[in-house]
Amino acid sequence: MAKHYNLNLISYQLCYTVDDISLLFKKNKLHVQTVRSWIKNGLNTIDSKQPLLVFGYELKEFLGKLNNSKKISTKFDEFYCFSCKCPEIPYQRKIYIEKNGSYIKAKGICSKSKKPTNKSYKLTDYQELKKTFNLVDELELYDSTNTPLKTHILDHDKNASNESLQGSLF
């Protein structure tokens, strides 16, 4: 049940909030959390001010890529990377998984671009996932990359790091 987003619903000239986008694709049952995850994974916003606004043309381009990525089949151990625009095996085969309704949501880090990638699996894939990947905590995923988050923590003592950690993640 791959979701295809109808790009004709988007106007180039308009700006959209996260809620607008979710409403626009009501038929796709698009959740605001999904839109937020797109923003984390490369959908550009105008700036970081709340409410976040997305230009129509940016949304069109992003969803165009998303529609195309569904056509590219990934092997069981590959995740599609939006930065590299091709399937990649997650860095150190580390993934974080959580149950999301009737499927498993898996997150990884691209071994080339070090950008977050994700993929959905069937609940029945769980045993195979355990064999194929190193299942880790969500934070451990980000620990293995050279993101500013890590240097940020190293620069501070332990007491200060708890606060800055939260600030950087959300």
Scanning 29-37, 54-62, 84-92, 145-153 for contacts with Zn ion by CB under 5 A, the matching segment is 84-92
CB of 108: closest distance to Zn ion in angstroms? 10
Scanning 61-69, 110-118, 141-149, 153-161 for contacts with Zn ion by CB under 5 A, the matching segment is 110-118
Q: Which of 52, 81, 89, 109 binds Zn ion (CB under 5 A)?
A: 81
The answer to the question of residue 83 lying near Zn ion (CB under 5 A) is yes
The answer to the question of residue 89 lying near Zn ion (CB under 5 A) is no
In the 3-class helix/strand/coil scheme, how is the chain assigned residue by residue?
CCCCCCHHHCCCCCEEEHHHHHHHCHHHCCCHHHHHHHHHCCCCCCCCCCCCEEEHHHHHHHHHHHHHHHHCCCCCCCEEECCCCEEECEHHHEEEEEEECCEEEEEEEECCCCCEEEEEEEHHHHHHHHHHCEECCHHHHHHCCCCHHHHHHHCCCHHHHHHHHHHHHC
The answer to the question of residue 84 lying near Zn ion (CB under 5 A) is yes
CB of 159: closest distance to Zn ion in angstroms? 35
Scanning 4-12, 73-81, 94-102, 124-132 for contacts with Zn ion by CB under 5 A, the matching segment is 73-81
Residues in contact with Zn ion, counted by CB under 5 A, come to a total of 6
The answer to the question of residue 69 lying near Zn ion (CB under 5 A) is no
CB of 62: closest distance to Zn ion in angstroms? 16
The answer to the question of residue 110 lying near Zn ion (CB under 5 A) is yes
Answer yes or no: are the C-beta atoms of 133 and 93 closer than 8 Å. yes
Q: How far is residue 28's CA from residue 5's CA, in Å, rounded to a whole number?
A: 7
Site for Zn ion, rule CB under 5 A: 81, 83-84, 110, 112-113
